[in-house]
Structure 1
Amino acid sequence: MKLNPFEKKLVQHPLRFWLQNHVEARLLTSMMPKPMPSCERALEIGCGFGNGIQLIREHFGAGHITAIDIDAEMVAAAQSRWQARPQGIKGLSFSVADATRLPFADSEFDIVFDFAVFHHIPDWQTAIKEVERVIKPNGYFVVEDLYRAAICNPLSRRLFEHPQQHRFNHSELLTVMRQTGFKIVCDRNVFNLAGMVLAQKVSG
């Protein structure tokens, strides 16, 4: 499900960028094994306006980043934003794609990122299966997302457009990830409103 106009304005606000780059990035990288594993090929699901690309480059050291979004407007905005930078789009690929039908080969990526996207996907379970398929054995899945209590309430329904059926909480997300073939390396739950998960694809 695409973002509504209000949420598009919200996610591109400078304060959102600041929080993602200075707060969320530190929390996410603190969950990774040390030293940081090699992340040559990365996939970001739901690239939005392209801020996640900066986080992945600066904090995870990805050599090549593939950024996708179901909304062609968002993909065009992210691509334009990065084309305007001095380094351009070297090492970046952009495409319009559905997370439940990823147009990539099996075991193509070292690491996949979900920065608050899966709560927008009606069939999020299938999206997790697709992520598991395209990650290399022993590769990582980095998740930061919102839960049922945060989006299935009167205020959220008034401001945003999120699927309301079959949403998940922290425990349910972890259960589906384990059933799909991931090992949970680290997880954080913020009052069952939001959470972070570092998962690793079980080899073989």
Structure 2
Amino acid sequence: MEAIKNKLSLHKAGNVLEVGTGTGEFIPTLLNIFNGIDQIIGVDMDPNSVLQAKNTYIDNTKLEFIVMNAERLGYGDNTFDTVCISNALHHTPLESKVLNEMKRVLKSNGLFFINELFCDNQNEAQISHVMYHHFSSEIDRRLGIYHRQTYTKQEILDLINHRGIRIESIYEHNELKKCVRSKQDIYLVSKACRKHIERTKDFFDHIDFKKRGKKLLNG
């Protein structure tokens, strides 16, 4: 993370737009790695997530959260100094206009910041996370929610290049933990996995999903 912070220290973040902000989980990272933030506007299509983000950061006057379709951003060309999207590319169909819209509202000398998980060349703990993500994304797709499996690193680079976004720097960040199987992590993942299993209760192959979920829990 320090390497990213050092690189970004040369850029005044100014007015920042975060697309797919969800409940605002990436906001602390943005506040940590960027200098000179005037304002961060987080947009998301889910009203419940936006409401939760507003409540979480209610005391920070630099933050604003808005329900908005990122394929039709309600801002003029060249509005923002910085645009960013975190772990949301795999929630965005390939034909989506989201990246094009982000590029449109970004100033010509602005910074386009993309943070995305990828599935190849992972260690044991990361592979477990990839398997869990693929399990949950399959359930979402069966329920009509667009959520593709995790991209490979090259697929992400190809996607960015295809949109005409210039790649200046690439960093890989691995969150360092004293214990990758801490009781807290195991509890949170187990709780989430059980919720996903419950979501399959009306599937004709619910038993198969239940077995797969239990295998992840015991992995």
* TM-score, length basis structure 1: 0.65
Match of 2:92 in 1: 121
Q: Deviations over 1:26-56 (max 9, x none)?
A: 4542443xx4211110011122222322322
The structure with the larger Rg is 2
Match of 2:177 in 1: none
How many residue pairs were aligned? 161
Q: Which has the higher strand share?
A: 1
Alpha-carbon distance in structure 2 between the residues aligned to 1:165 and 1:52: 20
Match of 1:145 in 2: 116
Pair 119,30 (structure 1): closer, same or farther in 2 beyond 3 Å: farther
Matched-pair contact (CA < 8 Å) for 1:122–1:166: no
Alpha-carbon distance in structure 1 between the residues aligned to 2:73 and 2:170: 25
Alpha-carbon distance in structure 2 between the residues aligned to 1:56 and 1:165: 25
Within 5 A, what are the aligned runs for 1:86-125?
88-123=59-94, 125=96
Alpha-carbon distance in structure 2 between the residues aligned to 1:189 and 1:125: 25
Matched-pair contact (CA < 8 Å) for 2:91–2:147: no
Match of 2:190 in 1: none
Cα RMSD between the aligned structures? 3.1
Alpha-carbon distance in structure 2 between the residues aligned to 1:157 and 1:178: 25
Q: Deviations over 1:35-84 (max 9, x none)?
A: 4211110011122222322322232031111011111111000101111x
Q: Which has the higher helix share?
A: 2
2:154 corresponds to 1:171: yes
2:75 corresponds to 1:75: no
Query: Alpha-carbon deviation of 1:124?
Result: 6.2
Alpha-carbon distance in structure 2 between the residues aligned to 1:52 and 1:178: 24
Within 5 A, what are the aligned runs for 1:12-23?
none
Within 5 A, what are the aligned runs for 1:47-58?
47-58=21-32
**Gaps spanning 5+ residues in structure 1: where?**
1-24, 191-204
Match of 2:16 in 1: 42
Letter paired with 1:174? L
Query: Alpha-carbon deviation of 1:154?
Result: 6.4
Pair 158,92 (structure 1): closer, same or farther in 2 beyond 3 Å: same
Alpha-carbon distance in structure 2 between the residues aligned to 1:187 and 1:79: 31
Pair 155,91 (structure 1): closer, same or farther in 2 beyond 3 Å: closer
Alpha-carbon distance in structure 2 between the residues aligned to 1:125 and 1:171: 19
